[in-house]
Structure formats: structure tokens, C-alpha cells
Structure 1
Amino acid sequence: MPHIVIEYTPNLTDLPFNAMLDAVTRRLAESTEVQDEADLKARVVRADHFRVGLEDSGRGFIHVTIRIMAGRNAQAKQDFSQRVTDGMLEHMPKFGDGMTVHLSVEVVDIERESYRKVKLT
């Protein structure tokens, strides 16, 4: 924890995901809410089948979900969301050719009662 999942539409080509992941994890690691930087787990998932409204083309999205252990207050969640947004925007290219892209960030609680993690060595 936290788990960071970046979903994106395949019509957004040449996104610098390694740089984005670096910026996002670096910014989250600087939070006082993160005790161990090794707990940050980030990945990118391509949404091969998608829809943005009713248009067939010219639209895309990037949605970031940050899954954290339940119990944090609204201010901590807002801080996580802002850190991730800033990290994504740090390396976001300009989109031309009439392309409209929506970037969204969501913080979701992980239920402590059902979550299990085992560190394998």
C-alpha cells in the first residue's frame, strides 16, 4: 500500500509512463503518510476497449486510482490526489489534432479487515 493504477486509452500514444511513474512515486514517497517507499506499487494498464461520451474519436482519458489503507482523513486523501496529479502533469505531453484528454485521480480506501500482504524473500 499504496497501490497506484494508471489506466489509459490506447489512442494516447507516446505517453512517457516511466517518467510519470517515477514522478508519482517520488512525490508520494515524500508524504508523511507513506512510511516505507517500498510499499508504493505502481503500474500502468491500457484500456483496449473504451468509450468517452458518444464520440468515436478525438477523446481519451487517463485515470489514476490510488488505493490506500482505510483510516486516513480527507486532508490526507486530498494531498495524495494532488501529489499524483502534479506528478502526472509534470511529464504530460501536449495533445493536438483536436484530441481532448481527461485526467482524473481517485483515492480509494482498502478495507483493513480483508487486506493481506505477505513479503516474500
Structure 2
Amino acid sequence: MPHFIMEYSANLDDDLDIPALFEALNETAIATGVFPIGGIRTRAVRCEHYRIAEGDPDNTFVHLTAKVGSGREPEVLKAAADKVFETFTQQLQPVFDRRYMSIGFELTELHPTLNYRQNNIHQKLAAKKESVS
């Protein structure tokens, strides 16, 4: 983890470079040293139906949720979240400068016993690292 889930208004289709944004988010998450690479997931959900503020069709939104596993100190999560939000807003700044836009970000910590996972990507990355060494 984290799992990044980005929701965005469909009227941003021509403005967002989602692959570049996701690359920057993943690189930032890795650079924090807080999250294992094999647990990072990033996905976008295009929202076709939405209403923003007074309903002006020129209004846009992008909201990022990061779901993380439990057990890290709050100050560690806060520092990582600050870096992620900085990257997120920097990547969106060119669009923000020319469009009416609401940018949101929330980091949520998943329940320690009610969160289930099965992932063998960690083993793949470890084996890959060993073969390079």
C-alpha cells in the first residue's frame, strides 16, 4: 500500500495526463521510504455524472484518496501525505491555472484486522533484486 484512487470530473479528459501524473505519484510514494513498492496501486475513476458548486459546467474536480495499511506513526504518515499532496498539486498546477478546479486529497488508514490482502508481487520484486545483485 498505498492504493491511490483518483476520481475526476469527465470534463477534464482533454486536460489530464493521467499516466504522467501516476508516474509522479508512484515515484513520490517510493521516495518517501514509507511504502513498499510492491503494494503501490494507482487508478483513476472518471466521473461522468457530477455537480460541482453552483453547477457551472466549467467547474472541475480531482480528488485523490490514499488507502494505507495500519501501524505507522501519525507523523510518518503526515510527512508522506505532505509529499504526495505536493506532487499531486504540482502536477495539476497547469490545469489549475487555466480552469476552475477543486483539488482534494485524503489519506486513510485501513483497519488493522478487517483489511484482507493477498499479493505475490513483493516476492517477484525481491527475486528480481537478488538476480541483479
Contact 2:60/2:102 (<8 A) preserved: yes
1:18 counterpart SS class: helix
Identify which range, 40-49 or 87-96, moves more after superposition: 87-96
Contact 1:7/1:46 (<8 A) preserved: yes
2:55 counterpart SS class: coil
Q: Distance in 2 between matches of 1:63 and 1:70?
A: 22
1:91 counterpart SS class: helix
Map of 1:15 onto structure 2:
16
Map of 2:41 onto structure 1:
41
Q: TM-score, normalised by structure 1?
A: 0.85
- The code of the aligned residue for 1:72 comes to R
Contact 1:16/1:91 (<8 A) preserved: no
2:4 counterpart SS class: strand
CA RMSD of aligned residues (A): 1.8
Q: Runs of at least 4 residues of structure 1 off by over 3 A?
A: none
Map of 1:30 onto structure 2:
31
Map of 1:64 onto structure 2:
64
Q: CA deviation at 1:32?
A: 2.6
Q: CA deviation at 1:120?
A: 5.0
Contact 2:85/2:105 (<8 A) preserved: yes
Structure 2 gaps of 5+ residues are 122-133
Q: Distance in 1 between matches of 2:76 and 2:60?
A: 29
Q: Distance in 2 between matches of 1:80 and 1:103?
A: 18
Q: TM-score, normalised by structure 2?
A: 0.78
2:108 counterpart SS class: strand
The alignment covers a number of residue pairs equal to 118
Structure 1 gaps of 5+ residues are none
Contact 2:89/2:103 (<8 A) preserved: no
Contact 2:60/2:100 (<8 A) preserved: yes
- The code of the aligned residue for 1:115 comes to N
